[in-house]
Every structure is written in C-alpha cells, then in structure tokens.
Amino acid sequence: MNALATFTKLDDSTRTRIQQWLDGAYDQETKNEITSLIQAGKEDELNDAFYRDLEFGTGGLRGIMGVGSNKMNKYTVGMATQGLANYLKLNFPGETIKVALAHDSRNNSSYFANVAADVFSANGIEVYLYSALRPTPQLSFTIRHFGCHSGVVVTASHNPKEYNGYKAYWNDGAQVIPPHDKNIIQEVQKISSVSEIKFNRNSSLVKILNEEVDEIYMNMIKNLSVSPEIIQRQSDLNIVFSPIHGTGVVLVPALLKKFGFTNVHLLSAQATPDGNFPTVVYPNPEETEAMSLALAKANEINADLIMATDPDADRVGIGVRNHKGQFQLLNGNQTGALLVSYMLQAWKEKGLLKGKEFVVKTIVTTDLIEKIAASYQVKLYNTLTGFKYIAALIRELEGKEKFIVGGEESYGYLVGDNVRDKDAIASCAFIAEMAAYARDKKMSLFDMLIDLYVQFGFYKERLVSLTKKGKTGAEEIQQMMKDLKENPPATLGGSGLSKIFDYQKSVQIDIATGTQSPIHLPKENALQLLTHDGTLISARPSGTEPKIKFYVSANLPLASKAEYDATATKLDAKIDQIISELKLK
C-alpha cells in the first residue's frame, strides 16, 4: 500500500507485519480497520499495534484490546490457543484431551473465551465452557473436578478497562510453571501464519457449564468451615460486599448465605458486571479509591466488615473498624496474617492439628506470618512471588503434608487445597467467619491484629513501585538491581546490614563472615537485604510491567494496645528514612 510507504516512524519489521495482516487470511473487518488507520495517517497507533507480536509470557497473554499483532484480538488469542493445543497433544498422546474455559466481566472476555473454545474443539479437544462469567478460582476448581489436562481464563485481573488477558493452567489446576510455560511459548512461536490456526468449532466437543458446578464448588468451600456454630451465633454480622463490577457477584453473596450470614449488603452501585468499570479508576481493591463507595455504604449502615473483590475474583480487599471506631482498609500482609492466625487457632481448638500441617507465603510477604505459624508449631514454607509457586509446593507435598492456608501480600489467599490459585470467593467466606469469631469474643478484627502485634512484634510494610518505560527504562531497572547487588548499603534505617539473599544466584550471604549458603528455590531476579534489627528490603523487577518493586518491612516491639499509634508513627518514620536512603522517591 503506497500510503504505508509515506510513514517515517515505522521500521521494516513493523511494515512487514502490517502488510502480512492486509494480505493474509484475516477477516475483512480487521483489514478495513487497518486500512482506515493508514488512510487517517495514524502512524503512532499503527506502530503501537504492530511493532511486535504480543508476547505469550510465562502466565499467558495480557495487553490492550484492538487490531494488530501487539493487541488482544481474535488472532492473538487464536494463536495462543493453537500453540497450547499443539503442546497438549505432544504431552498427552493417545489421550482424550479436556480443557476448561472461563472468563470475567471485561469487554470481549466472553468473545475471546468462545474463540478459544473454537480453536480447542477444532483441534479435537473436549471443552468445558462456562456460559457466563465465572471467577478465576472456579476455573482452577473446574479443571480438577472434571480431570481436565489444561484450562484458560480470559481476564486481565485488575488492569484498566482497555486491557484483557489469557491465563493458562495445567492439569493440577495451577497456572503453568517450568518447564511447561517455556515449552508452550515455543509452540506458540512456531506458528508462522494465521492460516495454521483452526477456527472452525466442533460443537459436539463443547460442553456448556451452568450453575451445577457453582453448587459443587460452593459446597466444597462450605465443608472447609471450621466454626459453623460461631457463625450461627453471629449470623447478623453486618457485611458490605462489592464485586467492583466483576465476577464476585456470581458467588460471594450466595456463599456467604450458605455459610449462614444473613445481613450481607451487596453494594448496588458496583454490583452489575461491566467491563467499563464505570465507578472506579482502576478495578483494584488494593486502591483506596476503588473502595470509596463501599466505605461510604459501610459508614451509612454501621457495618462491621467491608469486602471487595477484583474483576476475576482472585483478590480481596477488606475494611474493618479500628481502635478509634473508624473504618480502616487493611493491606494484604495484615489480612493474610489475620487469616493464618484465625485458621491455626480454629484448627487447634477443634483438635485438627496433627503435626503434619503447613502454611505458605511468598518471600515478599510479611514475616509476621512465620512467627504466627511457629507459635502453633506449624511448618511455614516461603516461595517465590506468584501464586503458581504456592500451588506447585502444594502439589509437591500432596499426600505427605496437609495444607491449611496460604497467601501473598498482593491480596491473594487460599484456604484448603481443592483450588490451586488464589481464591477470593473462599477468602470472603473465611474472612467473614474470622470476623464472626472475633465478634463472638467481644473483639473486632482490628483488636485481633493488635493482639498479634503485641505477641509477635508490630510489623509494618510498604510497597514502592517505580515505573520505567521503554528500552531506557528497562536498562535503568537492570542497573538499579546491579548496583544493589554490587554495592549494597552498609546500613538501612540506622541498622547494619546482616544478610543478603540473591535469588538470581540462589545464595544467601552472611555479611559478617562472608560465608554463602544455598537458597533452595528456583532462580528469580530478586534481591533481599536484611538488617540486624529485622528490617527487610526486597527488590524485584516486575515480569509483566515496566516496573521495579521495592517492599520495605520494619518491625518494633509493641508493649500494649495503648502504644499502637506511637509505635506506628515510629515505624512509618523508619520506612520513610529507608526509602530516602535508597533514593526511591
């Protein structure tokens, strides 16, 4: 096309991709959209859409929706599905291969899930496809329930509305991990032409799933309840729940009712599934802004507890009344510590702790959880960041040790091992059960949290996320990690450096002696600095975004509840000092 030749910003590979889409076996609507962009002189948009192929990373796809090789559309989803189908056939020769498919409330999620069903079935693979939106953890459960070999959920989690994504799972119900992740990527990369993608659905191989699996999934969670008699006494616990326009609305209210809670207020302003997320900037319960409507409702009706889930309902944020009677949003570390403490105490009271149980957290999640587990003589395991590593550990220990609960600081938790991904549906039920347990003891969840701080130390954490875009940004992130490894600070927050944990080299270094010992985890570009007073700084480049994240955790003894505010101020000042010393502002 002559008009294409007049553009100056497009490199040769970008021009080639555009021409391939104009000449290839793409539908006319797609070609018309590309032609319109060319005729309108939208060079920047064309460049963004075609400068590369949307990467099928270790977790699948995630990108802005639209036409082009670098966008989420029928063809990029089709290519990913064809590659996964090819890999499944290589791994399970001679077997009747089955996959499960689910999707969230995002724009085009249902469409992309159906595209995946088309491609899988066209390749002779049996498909279990949900007829409407369902949570990510239910997809994980469905894979295990039907004995599927793989599964896909179409979601971009808590990303802005322009995004969508495609997460691939293996036969244990967990997101794919090595070696499968890299091997699937290789199969996707082998596809050289869109004509290799089989789009013609074999309807005889597609089974549509409806509410019947919902009941099985919810009953499984209900059977994990540890304190049903307490819920019966505290059934009127005043709860506000928001699905933030996502999939949580399908199951959370129904599950809370099944658990016995009778006073649940669904936040109507955010109850309707909507991929435009009209009431929030980001559909992320980690953001205070996304929780503002729930907070207002909770104050209006004098609620005891706020819970809100992200669009695919694998993360949950909560709000509780603090020691001043005001609502306070808890971070992921606080909620995780409370949930671990409650589950272990409840198991102990019921005589369920037999000495073979364990809990799991990630390396960047609060060490308060480790202290709590030790007090119950329950083993704690640390994994790399990402719930797929928690799931891998559960699989490894299956039949040998009993998993109770686990979580990560990014608002993801799991109770029981029937699901192999973070599960906000089950978490909402157990957070409510935990709140009922506290109320039964004439306490609030915040009282329980302060009691943990008095017993084990007041742990305070803060996340600093720095965005560094483009090639220069990537180089800057690499340099920051290199500098920290080669020239670590001698002191941080007034305390000398004690140990360095280099996860890329899998070594732990003792600063005083210089001795090194192995870290028995997969290699990852992450670094931790531990000081003599127990302050821990973790640095980790994001694997999916142009960001580097720093997790700062400081702790001090807490003598009593009366000392809470003063100690919190000291910890904030210490964290501020460390952030300044590391020049993270």
Other C-beta atoms closer than 10 Å to the C-beta of 23 total: 10
pLDDT (tens digit, 9 = 90+) per residue, 449-468?
999 999 999 999 999 999 88
Question: Is 292 considered catalytic here?
Answer: no
pTM beyond 0.85: the answer is yes
pLDDT (tens digit, 9 = 90+) per residue, 272-320?
999 999 999 999 999 999 999 999 999 999 999 999 999 999 999 999 9
Report the interhelical angle of 211-222 vs 248-259 (nearest 10°): 40
In the chain, where are the structural domains located?
Answer: 1-51, 69-209, 228-456, 458-581
Q: What is the mean pLDDT of residues 155-180?
A: 94
Pick the CATH number of 228-456 from 1.20.1270.10, 3.40.120.10, 3.40.50.300, 3.90.1150.10: 3.40.120.10
Is the pLDDT assigned to residue 31 strictly greater than 80? yes
Residue type at 139?
Answer: L
Q: Beta 206-209 vs 126-130: how paired, if at all?
A: parallel
Query: Cα–chain-centroid distance for residue 16?
Result: 36
Q: Residue 231 and residue 225: Cα distance in Å, rounded?
A: 10
Q: What is the mean pLDDT of residues 222-237?
A: 98
Between the ranges 171-180, 329-338, 465-474, where is the mean pLDDT highest? 329-338
The pLDDT confidence band at residue 166, using thresholds 50, 70 and 90, is very high
Residue type at 533?
Answer: D
Q: Residue 212 and residue 228: Cα distance in Å, rounded?
A: 24
Instruction: Check if the beta carbon of residue 153 is closer than 8 Å to that of residue 139.
Output: yes
Query: Cα–chain-centroid distance for residue 231?
Result: 29
State the pLDDT at residue 2. Answer: 63
Residue type at 331?
Answer: N
Across all residues in the chain, what is the average pLDDT?
Answer: 95
State the pLDDT at residue 473. Answer: 82
What is the share, in percent, of the chain residues with pLDDT greater than 70? 99
What is the share, in percent, of the chain residues with pLDDT greater than 90? 91
State the pLDDT at residue 475. Answer: 87
The H or E element spanning position 305 is strand 305-309
The pLDDT confidence band at residue 544, using thresholds 50, 70 and 90, is low
DSSP state of 243: -
The pLDDT confidence band at residue 515, using thresholds 50, 70 and 90, is very high
What CA dihedral angle connects 190, 192, 195 and 197, to 10 degrees? 30
Query: Cα–chain-centroid distance for residue 78?
Result: 24
CATH architecture assignment, domain 69-209: 3-Layer(aba) Sandwich (3.40)
State the pLDDT at residue 468. Answer: 86
Instruction: Check if the beta carbon of residue 174 is closer than 8 Å to that of residue 140.
Output: yes
If 0-12 CB within 10 Å is exposed, 13-18 middle and 19+ buried, where does residue 505 land? middle
Is the pLDDT assigned to residue 101 strictly greater than 90? yes
Paired tokens of 65? 């929706």
Is the pLDDT assigned to residue 231 strictly greater than 70? yes
Q: Residue 563 and residue 569: Cα distance in Å, rounded?
A: 10
Paired tokens of 169? 């799972």
State the pLDDT at residue 8. Answer: 81
- Cβ neighbors of 80 (< 8 A, separation 6 or more) are 56, 60, 61, 166, 168, 188
The pLDDT confidence band at residue 158, using thresholds 50, 70 and 90, is confident
Other C-beta atoms closer than 10 Å to the C-beta of 557 total: 11
Q: What is the mean pLDDT of residues 220-247?
A: 98
Q: Residue 321 and residue 230: Cα distance in Å, rounded?
A: 20
Which own/partner pairs from 506-509 qualify as long-range (CB within 8 Å, at least 24 positions apart)?
A: none
The H or E element spanning position 537 is strand 536-541
Is the pLDDT assigned to residue 59 strictly greater than 80? no
Other C-beta atoms closer than 10 Å to the C-beta of 172 total: 17
Residue type at 92?
Answer: F
Q: Residue 241 and residue 258: Cα distance in Å, rounded?
A: 15
Other C-beta atoms closer than 10 Å to the C-beta of 400 total: 8
Q: Of 361, 340, 366, whose CA–CA distance to 553 is shortest? A: 366
Is the pLDDT assigned to residue 543 strictly greater than 90? no
State the pLDDT at residue 5. Answer: 76
Residue type at 78?
Answer: G
Radius of gyration of the chain (CA): 25
Is the domain covering 458-581 a CATH 3.30.310 domain? yes
pLDDT (tens digit, 9 = 90+) per residue, 392-411?
999 999 999 999 999 999 99
Paired tokens of 264? 């649940």
Residue type at 539?
Answer: A
Q: How many contiguous H segments (helices) and E segments (strands) does the chain have?
A: 19, 23
Lowest mean pLDDT among 39-48, 149-158, 210-219, 538-547: 538-547
Paired tokens of 341? 């403490």
Q: Of 416, 408, 446, whose CA–CA distance to 306 is shortest? A: 446
State the pLDDT at residue 286. Answer: 95
Q: Residue 585 and residue 580: Cα distance in Å, rounded?
A: 7
Q: What is the mean pLDDT of residues 525-539?
A: 97
Is the pLDDT assigned to residue 58 strictly greater than 90? no
Q: Which of 105, 157, 242, 444 is catalytic?
A: 157
**Does 228-456 match 458-581 in CATH topology?**
no
Q: What is the mean pLDDT of residues 194-213?
A: 97
Instruction: Check if the beta carbon of residue 187 is closer than 8 Å to that of residue 164.
Output: no
pLDDT (tens digit, 9 = 90+) per residue, 107-124?
999 999 999 999 999 999
pLDDT (tens digit, 9 = 90+) per residue, 414-454?
999 999 999 999 999 999 999 999 999 999 999 999 999 99
Say how many CA atoms lie within 13 Å of 557 toward its Cβ. Answer: 1
Instruction: Check if the beta carbon of residue 4 is closer than 8 Å to that of residue 38.
Output: yes
- Cβ neighbors of 46 (< 8 A, separation 6 or more) are 7, 10, 14, 18, 34, 37, 38, 68
Q: Of 338, 343, 363, 366, whose CA–CA distance to 353 is shortest? A: 343
Is the pLDDT assigned to residue 471 strictly greater than 80? no
Q: Residue 483 and residue 61: Cα distance in Å, rounded?
A: 31
Is the pLDDT assigned to residue 1 strictly greater than 80? no
